[in-house]
Chains A and B, each alone.
Chain A
Amino acid sequence: MQQWKTWTAAALAVLGAWWLYAVWQAPLDSVQGVIQKILYVHPPLAFACYAGFIGAAIGGALFLARGDERFDRFAAASAEVGVVFATLMLVTGPIWARGTWGKWWTWDPRLTVTLILYLTYVAYLLLRSFTEGSERAARFAAVYGILGAALIPLNYYAIELFGNRALHPDNLGRGSLGEGMGLPFLLGVLATFAAFAFLLVWRVELGNLRAARAEQLALAAEREDA
C-alpha cells in the first residue's frame, strides 16, 4: 500500500503541476474566450467519475464471485471517490454553462442522465452507510453497483442517442480540439486520473483500517461476554 501511495503522489505532483502550466499557456478560444479553459477540467472529472463507478462494479462482481470482503471494500471506496469526482463535474459543468449558455442548468439529455447517474451512486453510498457490516447488504450493493454502471454508456452516448435535442456539446473526437489545446486536455485527463488513483489508494486504506477496528471491537465484546 505504501508503494502505491508514493507512486500515485509522485504522479499527481508531476502531472498536476505540468497540467496547470499547460492550462495557463493554452491558447484562448476565438468564440468562448477564457471560459473555454474549463474544458481542461470538466471532461476529465467526468472520466474519473466513470472510472470510480466502473471500479465499484468490478469490485462488486469480484466480491460476488469470490466472496472476499476486500473486493467489497474496494467497491465501496471506488464508488465514494467516483461520487466526489461526479460532484465536481456537476459543479464545474453549470459554471461553464452559466458563462456560455447564460443559465446554470437545463434539462438537456446529457445533463439529465448525468444527474440520474450521480443520484444512483449517492443512493449506493447511503445504502452502504445504513447497512454497514452486513454481508447481505454487501451482496445487494454489489448487484446495485453493477447495474448502476450500465448508465455509464447511456451517459456517454446520450447526445448521439437523443439526436439534435442536446444543448451539451458533442463528445470530443480526433481533431475536434483547436491547435495547442490537445496537450493541456491530455494532461488534464492524466492529472485527474492520478488524483483519482491517489485518493482511491487512501480511501481503500481507510476502509481496511475501519474493518480492522471493527474486528478489534467485536473480539473485545466477545471477550467481555466470555
Chain B
Amino acid sequence: MSYLISAYAVTLGALLAYGVQLRVSARRLREEITRAESNRG
C-alpha cells in the first residue's frame, strides 16, 4: 500500500508544485513588465 501511495503522492505533488511555480513566475514577470511600462510612461 505504501508503494502505491508514494507513486500517487509524488505524481500529484510534483505536478501541483510545477503548476504553482509556473503561475508564480508568470505573475512576477507580468508585474515586472507593467512596472517597466509605467516607469517609461
Point out residues on A near B: beta carbons under 8 Å.
23, 34-35, 37-38, 41-42, 45, 84, 87-88, 91-92, 95-96, 98-99, 195, 198-199, 202-203, 205-206, 209-210, 212-213, 216, 220
Query: Number of A-B pairs whose CB atoms are under 8 Å?
Result: 69
Interchain CB contact under 8 A, A95 and B3: yes
- Contact pattern, B 30-41, Cβ under 8 Å of A = 1, otherwise 0: 101100110010
Interchain CB contact under 8 A, A206 and B25: yes
Interchain CB contact under 8 A, B6 and A95: yes
Point out residues on B near A: beta carbons under 8 Å.
1, 3-4, 6-8, 10-11, 14-15, 18-19, 22-23, 25-26, 29-30, 32-33, 36-37, 40
Q: A35-B3, A95-B10, A96-B3 are in contact. List 11 more A-B contacts (CB 8 A).
A: A38-B3, A42-B7, A88-B10, A88-B14, A198-B19, A203-B22, A212-B33, A213-B32, A216-B36, A220-B36, A220-B40
Interchain CB contact under 8 A, A41 and B15: no
* The one of B1, B15, B18 that contacts A34, using a Cβ cutoff of 8 Å: B1
Inside 8 A of A41's CB, which chain B residues have their CB? Answer: 7-8, 11
Inside 8 A of B22's CB, which chain A residues have their CB? Answer: 199, 202-203, 206
Closest 9 CB pairs of A and B: A99-B3, A209-B29, A202-B22, A92-B7, A95-B7, A38-B7, A206-B26, A88-B11, A95-B3
Q: Which residue of chain B has the shortest Cβ distance to A36 in the bound complex?
A: B4
Interchain CB contact under 8 A, A38 and B4: yes
Can you list 10 residue pairs at the A/B interface with Cβ under 8 Å? A23-B8, A34-B4, A87-B14, A95-B7, A195-B15, A198-B19, A206-B22, A209-B29, A213-B33, A220-B40
Inside 8 A of A45's CB, which chain B residues have their CB? Answer: 11
Interchain CB contact under 8 A, A88 and B15: yes
Interchain CB contact under 8 A, A96 and B7: yes
